[in-house]
Amino acid sequence: MSDSPELSPTDWVRDQTEKILAAGTTDVADINGMRVVLFTTLGAKSGKQRYVPLMRVEENGKYAMVASKGGAPSNPSWYYNVKAHPEVTVQDGTEVFHLTAREVSGEEREHWWKLAVEAFPPYGEYQQNTDRQIPVFVLE
C-alpha cells in the first residue's frame, strides 16, 4: 500500500492536481483565471490521503475550504473526510502548511462566505442552485 495521496477520479480535478504536482506549485493551476490551492485530506473511511484542489480563499494566513460541489444537492466527498480528520495540508504556490480545519457558522461563516464569493463569484450562483447551505471550513 502506498502512502502517496490518490488522484481524484473526476477528470478536471485530476488534471488540475497533476498540473500542480508536475510544476511543484499551485501557480500553474487556475479555474476561470482564478487561483487555486491544493489541499491534502485523509479519507474518512479509507484512511488514504486525497488531493483536493479548490479556489484560493485566504485571509491573514487562514484558508477556507468551500464545499460547494458546484451547487449539487449533496456535499462533496472530501467534506466528510475533513469532518472526520480535520488536520489538512495546504499548498499555496510552493509553500506548504499543516493546518486544522473547523466548520464555521453564523457571523463567522458569513464573513468567510463573502470572501469566498469575492475570490470566486460562481460560489454565489452555486448557493442559489441548491437547497443546502454550502458548508465552509476555516483552516488555521
pLDDT tens-digit profile of 73-97?
999 999 999 999 999 999 999 999 9
Q: Structure pTM?
A: 0.92
Question: How far from each other are the two terminal CA atoms of the chain, in whole angstroms?
Answer: 30
Q: Which sequence spans correspond to the domains of the chain?
A: 11-139
pLDDT tens-digit profile of 117-134?
999 999 999 999 999 999
pLDDT of residue 3: 65
User: Would the CA dihedral through 26, 92, 102, 2 be positive or negative?
Assistant: positive
pLDDT of residue 31: 77
User: Would the CA dihedral through 99, 58, 93, 4 be positive or negative?
Assistant: positive
For residues 55 and 66, the answer to whether their CB atoms sit within 8 Å is yes
Distance from C-alpha of 43 to C-alpha of 45, rounded to nearest angstrom: 6
Pick the CATH number of 11-139 from 2.40.50.140, 2.30.110.10, 3.40.50.620, 3.40.50.2000: 2.30.110.10
Alpha-carbon distance values, 105 to 18, 71, 75, 94, 132 (Å): 33, 18, 16, 30, 14
pLDDT tens-digit profile of 100-119?
999 999 999 999 999 999 99
pLDDT tens-digit profile of 1-32?
446 787 877 777 888 899 999 999 999 987 77
Query: Of 65, 40, 53, which Cα lies nearest the Cα of 116?
Result: 65
Total number of residues shown for the chain? 140
pLDDT tens-digit profile of 40-61?
999 999 889 999 999 999 999 9
